[in-house]
Structure formats: C-alpha cells, structure tokens
C-alpha cells in the first residue's frame, strides 16, 4: 500500500473543484455515479474507475517504443485494488478493492500483458450475490453473517511476487493467494499446513539472494514470522508477542541474522463504525515508532527499539554493520492522514493534502538498545514506494528508488516522477513523467552480468492521461534523469496498483 | 488488521455432549417456562459434519459452564431449525455454535486461535466473535436466530 501523498490532489483542485463540492458534502463518500461524473471531467481519474468482474480480464501485446534490451527477459508483476464498484455501489476506501494481478512478460522483442482479478472466496461470494456484501476495511455492509476469519474478506490486493513456480497475491491480514504464472488462474489460499489456515502472510516478504522468502503477519497480540525455502516449502513458522498489540505491521526488513519489523503507533479498529470510509485508523498519541528486531532462528531472542513517533508504511532495507548496528531505511510521515482521509478522498475523486513524508535512516544499536534517526535529503515534495537492488536485500544498499514529487504545485499528482537517492552523498536524481502522468512504484531489475547497484534497469508503470493508457517504462538506473529508454504502451488503462516484483526468465 | 477473537477458547474445551434436547424440525417456538426454545440456524454447510450448540445463561458462566448443549447432524439445507431444551429457570441465554466439519468434536483453530470451522452466535456477534453482551437474547418464546459465519 502506498502513501500516495496527495495523489491527484492539485490536479483535481484545478480541474474539478467546481464539480467536486469542496464544502461539507465533499467529506461524504462518493457514489459510483458521483465518481463517474468526476472522472468524465478529470482524465487522471480514469484508473480509479477500476474493472468489473465480467470484463476485468485484460490481455494484450503492448506497443513498443524505444529500445527494449534483448538481455531483459522475465515477468514483471503488479497488484492493486481493481474492482472498486459494483452496480451503484462504490467502495469508500481505496484499499477495499479486490486485487488484480498484472503480469508483463518481457522478452523476444515483445511485452505481453495479462491482468486477472484474484478469484478470492470474497470475490466469488459477491459475484454470486451480484453486489458487495462483505465488510471491507473502509466500507461496511450491515446485516451480514459474521466473518469465518480473515480470508473471508481477504482481497489479495497489495502485492504480487513469483516464487518457487507460483505467483503470490498478497494482502496484509490473511493468507497469500497462489496463482499460476502461466495464465494467472487462481489456485487458492496458500497455507502450507492446515493449522496455518488464515494466518496472516503480509504483503511485503523479503526474498534474499539465496531465494529464501521471509515474512511476518500480525494477529492482535501476536506476531507470526514465516520462512519459506527456495523450493517453496515452508521451513518454519514462529510466534512471538507483539510489543504493540493490535498495531499495524505492514512492512518488514531482513538482515543476515535478523528480522526487523517496524510497528508504527497506528491502530485499526475494524469494528468501529465508519464515516464514509473514515475513522477506523488512529495514531496512538504518545506512542513511539517501535522497531522489533528478532533473531531469524529464534524470534524469542529480540530487542525492541523506540524511535520518535512516526507513521511508517514502507522500509527500504536493513543491514547489519561490523560494529553491531542495524541500519534501517524507511519512509516516515508525521501522521496517518492518508490512511484515514487520503485514500477516501481518492475514491471520491476529490483533492486532499496528505502531508509530508521523508526518507529516514535509523541506526539501531543492538548492544545498548539505543537508536538514532537521521533524515535524508530529497524528500521536499514527498516520496513513497522505496525499493532497492534485489541482490542487496539484507545487505548494505547505497541506492534507493522512490515514486516522488517535487517542485511547486503544478496541478498534478505528487507522484509524477521517479527518484533515485544515493544515501552516501544525499544526491538525488529524478525523472519527471509530466503533469499528465501518475507514476507508480518502480523496481530495480539487475542487468545480466552487472555487479554494481546501478548496473540495473528501473521498471515501473505510469498512467498516461493524454494517451489514456497504462505505460510500462524502462529506465537505466545509472541515468534516471534521462527518462525511459524503452516503453510498452498498453491499449487500455489498468487500475492504479500498489506493489510488484520482477522475476527473471 | 485487527485480529479475530480467538473463538477456539469458546469451543475447544471438550466435545459437546448430547443432553437429550429434542431435535424437532420446524417445531414452533416454545416459551422458556417449558425449558425449551426454538433455534433457527442459517448459513449451515449442508450435510457436512455436525452442529455443536452450547447455551450459557449468565455473564459469569459464559463460555465456561453451559446450561444446555446439543449436537446434531447438519441437514440437507442451509437453514436448520431445532428445539433446544434444558433452559428452565433462565430468562436470557447466549448461544455459541460451531459446525464440526471434520468430526473431531472440537472447533478447528489455527495456530493463533482463529476458527477454521464455521461458527455462530445468538444476538449480534459482529464480525470478530461473540461476547455475552453481544450474544445474549431474552427467552420470551421468540425463535433464536443464529447465522453461521461466512
């Protein structure tokens, strides 16, 4: 999930303010009709119309522009909330939508796209009913039976990763769903063992250089840790008590010996009544940003660090230093207004100020328990979606790439560009996709035979409002500022997504 | 995400014993003075295992000591109606149910205590599990309606 700071905010303010009711009524959730009217006036909103479950499948060969390197071969996956409305119903909160996995097959001079909704139990139930019936994160449907467990409302909508011959479509609160890499058909929840049914497998597992997959899940007072081997078999599941019970646990890092789990002071109350999608997320005043560091081989051996209060969705990386520190990079924010307000405003198609965000580096002293936090430059307009070179996961990584915005307001999404940060020098390099574009997460793809972090491409999608098309972009990590060296233009618009990963062929 | 309440604590104590409460399909609601009430359960998985029913009469005994228990095979339809007896002397009651799909007499749960078999409660249990407050209903002759989890 992203903190899409002010996504579309200025653009909407400029283009749609008269029609979007900036007074009290603007605080109400949008109906499907309201949103359609807004989208008709603002081309940037098209991706938020989403897809429906009868015409949601997408298959096309992209139009190629520029030079796609022959050495780049593989499958790029993305995931995000895609089914956002049924009939006249429209979800209030962006995170409510049903997940849709996008696959871009790259190679042999072609880029072939396939998109499929994840056929979750929740989606099948609502297909049968012909309407939304399952309570979602920010939208309630009163009078429904109690939930059998989190997988009964699991939307599998947050990230996608191919591992050990299957695609994992991941959410935060329940099982990952398995999909076929061949045709993206849904295989069902991945539980490995019966007693692990419905146990949360969060959306940000870390794949180390040896192919081991590490992950966490948060269940009230407990934290679950997962270790899946390179062959896809479950190696070990461990449980430990959460130092912040009931708090959000979204992303995690892995080092050579540790699992590093930030626990921001944010709580979600799924039972609270919503006000048009709001009021279920709240920062806990006076609570610090905790970082739970656990030994991989025995999570009971742990240390909890307390950092100044900050909201945190995503980490960049973590690594251990020779002098006993763990260095953790992440994107921090002063509050969670995006969760409580921004993601609701987005669904209503109205502007919103999500506040600042910044790149932080925390140094966690494992011997003393002390922590220092350093703010890094390059966050003047807001950043999110931090990613690193995949072969540096858990090791020292110098460069981070982000979705970013900068400069004076120009009537566009804050996420109009991609930005590379050199954490050693503080230097940033950027490429601006322009005022008619929404830039999404970009990932590092190592060049074959490359050794350095910047011997890589950056791969990411952009919604081009002028073309009314989703475009896959390839940049050279060493020359980000030059912009795409190649593009693949789809003949349609994909719903905005959250996260993804590349798997080499 | 907020967790599910560990319902295994409700059901995982012992196999529920059959207490001789009569199973009377489509029986009319019966007043509590008779010691029986009619229960209607929705969203039953037809012909899969047994419904396990426990009735609690006070907040202090909720989930600890049942005043009545019953198990009966899941029927052919998704809605099942039966009579639950043994309630004499109670003015209100909270029912907890699970559908024992695997026939082991216990409510299935994963390693963190979330139910892996359908569950239900009288009253308005909400999304994440019942309590005495959300589950209690008056024994006034009305049919007690329970919806099993989705």
- pTM, two decimals, is 0.89
Average pLDDT over residues A233-245: 97
Using pLDDT thresholds of 50, 70 and 90, give the confidence band for residue B19.
very low
Contacts of A437 (CB under 8 A, 6+ apart): A412, A413, A416, A462, A463, A464, A465
- Chain A residues lying within 8 Å of B147, measured CB to CB: 145-146
Instruction: Select the more confidently predicted residue: A260 or B15.
Output: A260
A179-219 residue pLDDT tens: 999 999 999 999 999 999 999 999 999 999 899 999 999 99
Judge whether B51 and B41 are in contact, CB under 8 Å.
yes
The span from the CA of A52 to the CA of A347, in Å, is 16
Distances (CA, A) of B150 to A198, A445, B55, B120: 14, 42, 22, 10
Q: How far apart are the first and last CA of chain B?
A: 18
The span from the CA of B121 to the CA of B109, in Å, is 17
Q: Percent of chain A scored above 90 by pLDDT? A: 75
Judge whether A82 and A100 are in contact, CB under 8 Å.
yes
Residue of A134, A248, A271 with shortest CB distance to B128: A271
A172 to B128: CB separation less than 8 angstroms, yes or no? no
A237 to B115: CB separation less than 8 angstroms, yes or no? no
Average pLDDT over residues B23-37: 53
Question: Which of B7, B104, B112 to probe by mutation at the A interface, max A CB count within 10 Å?
Answer: B112
Using pLDDT thresholds of 50, 70 and 90, give the confidence band for residue A296.
very high
Q: In this structure, is the dihedral angle defined by the CA atoms of residues A451, A359, A225 and A297, taken in order, positive or negative?
A: positive
**Is residue A4 pLDDT above 90, yes or no?**
no
**Is residue A2 pLDDT above 60, yes or no?**
no
Instruction: Select the more confidently predicted residue: A177 or A284.
Output: A177
Average pLDDT over residues A293-298: 98
| Shortest Cα distance, chain A CAs vs residue B140, angstroms | 23
Helix (H, G, I), strand (E, B) or coil at B5: coil
Looking at residue A409, its pLDDT comes to 59
Which residue in B has a C-alpha nearest to residue A197's C-alpha?
B110
B73-131 residue pLDDT tens: 999 999 999 999 999 999 999 999 999 999 999 999 999 999 999 999 999 887 667 89
A84-136 residue pLDDT tens: 999 889 999 999 999 999 999 999 999 999 999 999 999 999 999 999 999 89
Q: Which DSSP string do the residues of B92-127 spell out, in sequence order? A: EEEEEEEEETTSSSS--B-TTS-BSS-EEESS---S
Looking at residue A29, its pLDDT comes to 59
Using pLDDT thresholds of 50, 70 and 90, give the confidence band for residue A269.
confident
Looking at residue A408, its pLDDT comes to 64
The span from the CA of B135 to the CA of B114, in Å, is 19
B116 to A200: CB separation less than 8 angstroms, yes or no? no
Angle of helix A9-16 relative to helix A32-41, nearest 10 degrees?
80
A382-408 residue pLDDT tens: 899 999 999 999 999 999 999 998 876
Instruction: Select the more confidently predicted residue: A280 or A392.
Output: A392
User: Among A15, A36, A47, A38, which residue's Cα sits nearest to residue A465?
Assistant: A47
Average pLDDT over residues B49-70: 96
Judge whether A357 and A384 are in contact, CB under 8 Å.
yes
Looking at residue A143, its pLDDT comes to 80
The span from the CA of A236 to the CA of A68, in Å, is 40
A196 to B149: CB separation less than 8 angstroms, yes or no? no
Judge whether A418 and A401 are in contact, CB under 8 Å.
yes
Q: Which residues of A touch B (CB under 8 A)?
A: 125, 134-135, 144-150, 152, 172-174, 194-200, 218-222, 224, 237, 239, 246, 248, 268-271
Q: Percent of chain A scored above 70 by pLDDT? A: 92
Strands B36-42 and B144-147: parallel
**Is residue A28 pLDDT above 60, yes or no?**
no
Using pLDDT thresholds of 50, 70 and 90, give the confidence band for residue B12.
very low
The β-bridge partners of A258 are A295
φ, ψ of residue A9 to 5 degrees: the values are -60, -55
Residue of B1, B120, B127 with shortest CB distance to A135: B127
Q: In this structure, is the dihedral angle defined by the CA atoms of residues A63, A66, A71 and A75, taken in order, positive or negative?
A: negative
Alpha helices (H) in A208-365, listed in sequence order: 337, 343-348
Looking at residue A328, its pLDDT comes to 98
A31-62 residue pLDDT tens: 888 899 889 988 999 999 999 988 789 999 99
Looking at residue A470, its pLDDT comes to 98
The span from the CA of A279 to the CA of A220, in Å, is 19
Average pLDDT over residues A417-435: 94
| Shortest Cα distance, chain B CAs vs residue A139, angstroms | 13
CB atoms within 10 A of CB A173: 26
* Average pLDDT score over chain A: 90
Which residue in A has a C-alpha nearest to residue B5's C-alpha?
A220
A329-370 residue pLDDT tens: 999 999 988 888 888 888 988 887 778 889 999 999 999 999
The span from the CA of A369 to the CA of A290, in Å, is 12
Looking at residue B127, its pLDDT comes to 66
CB atoms within 10 A of CB B47: 10
A137-180 residue pLDDT tens: 889 888 888 888 999 999 999 999 999 999 999 999 999 999 99
**Is residue A484 pLDDT above 50, yes or no?**
yes
Contacts of A460 (CB under 8 A, 6+ apart): A403, A418, A439, A440, A441, A442, A443, A472, A473, A475
């Amino acid at each position: 999930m992203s903190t899409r700071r002010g996504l579309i905010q200025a653009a909407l303010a400029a283009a749609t303010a008269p029609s979007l009711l900036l007074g009290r009524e603007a605080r109400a959730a949008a109906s499907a009709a309201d949103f359609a009217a807004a989208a008709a006036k603002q081309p940037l909103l098209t991706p938020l119309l989403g897809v429906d479950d009868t015409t949601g499948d997408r298959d096309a060969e992209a139009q190629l522009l520029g030079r796609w390197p022959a050495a780049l071969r593989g499958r790029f996956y993305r995931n995000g909330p895609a089914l956002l409305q049924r009939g006249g119903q429209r979800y209030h909160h962006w995170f409510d939508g049903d997940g849709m996995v996008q696959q871009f097959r790259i190679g042999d001079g072609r880029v072939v796209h396939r998109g499929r909704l994840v056929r979750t139990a929740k989606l099948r139930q609502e297909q049968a009913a012909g309407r939304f019936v399952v309570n979602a994160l920010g939208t309630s449907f009163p009078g429904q039976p109690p939930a059998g467990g989190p997988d009964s409302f699991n939307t599998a909508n947050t990230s996608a990763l191919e591992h050990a011959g299957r695609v994992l479509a991941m959410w935060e609160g329940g099982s990952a769903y398995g999909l076929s890499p061949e045709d993206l058909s849904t295989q069902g929840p991945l539980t490995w063992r019966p007693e692990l049914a419905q146990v949360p497998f969060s959306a940000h597992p870390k794949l180390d250089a040896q192919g081991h997959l590490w992950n966490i899940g948060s269940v009230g007072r407990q934290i679950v840790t997962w270790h899946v081997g390179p062959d896809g078999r479950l190696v070990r599941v461990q449980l430990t008590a959460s130092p912040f019970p009931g708090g959000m646990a979204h992303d995690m890092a892995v080092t050579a010996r540790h699992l590093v789990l930030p626990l921001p002071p944010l709580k979600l109350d799924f039972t609270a009544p919503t006000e048009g999608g709001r009021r279920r997320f709240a920062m806990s005043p006076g609570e610090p940003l905790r970082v739970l560091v656990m030994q991989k081989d025995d999570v009971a051996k742990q240390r909890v660090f307390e950092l100044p209060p900050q909201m945190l969705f995503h980490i960049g990386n973590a690594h251990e230093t020779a002098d006993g520190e763990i260095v953790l990079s992440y994107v921090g924010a002063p509050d969670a207004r995006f969760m409580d307000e921004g993601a609701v405003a987005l669904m209503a198609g109205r502007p919103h100020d999500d506040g600042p965000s910044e790149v932080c580096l925390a140094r966690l002293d494992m011997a003393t328990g002390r922590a220092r936090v350093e703010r890094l430059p390059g966050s003047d307009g807001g950043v999110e979606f931090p990613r690193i070179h995949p072969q540096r996961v858990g090791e020292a990584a110098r460069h981070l790439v982000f979705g970013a915005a900068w400069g004076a307001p120009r009537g566009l999404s804050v996420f109009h560009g991609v930005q590379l940060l050199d954490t050693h020098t503080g230097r940033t390099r950027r490429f601006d996709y322009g005022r008619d574009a929404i830039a999404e997460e970009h990932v590092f793809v190592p060049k074959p035979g490359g050794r350095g972090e910047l011997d890589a491409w950056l791969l990411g999608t952009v919604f081009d409002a002028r073309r009314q098309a989703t475009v896959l972009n390839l940049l050279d990590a060493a020359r980000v500022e030059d912009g795409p060296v190649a593009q693949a233009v789809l003949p349609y618009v994909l719903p905005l997504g959250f996260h993804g990963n590349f798997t080499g062929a | 995400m907020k967790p599910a309440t560990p319902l295994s604590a409700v059901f995982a104590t012992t196999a529920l014993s059959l207490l001789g409460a009569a199973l009377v399909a489509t029986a009319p609601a019966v007043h509590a003075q008779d010691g029986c009430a009619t229960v209607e359960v929705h969203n039953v998985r037809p012909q899969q295992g047994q419904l396990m029913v426990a009735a609690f009469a006070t907040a202090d005994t909720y989930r600890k000591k049942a005043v009545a228990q019953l198990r009966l095979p899941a029927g052919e339809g998704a809605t099942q109606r039966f009579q639950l007896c043994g309630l004499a002397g109670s003015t209100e009651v909270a029912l907890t149910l699970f559908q024992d799909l695997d026939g082991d007499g216990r409510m299935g749960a994963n390693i963190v205590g979330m139910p892996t078999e359908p569950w239900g409660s009288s009253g308005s249990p909400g999304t994440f599990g019942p309590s005495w407050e959300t589950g209690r209903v008056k024994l006034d002759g009305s049919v007690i309606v329970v919806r099993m989890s989705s």
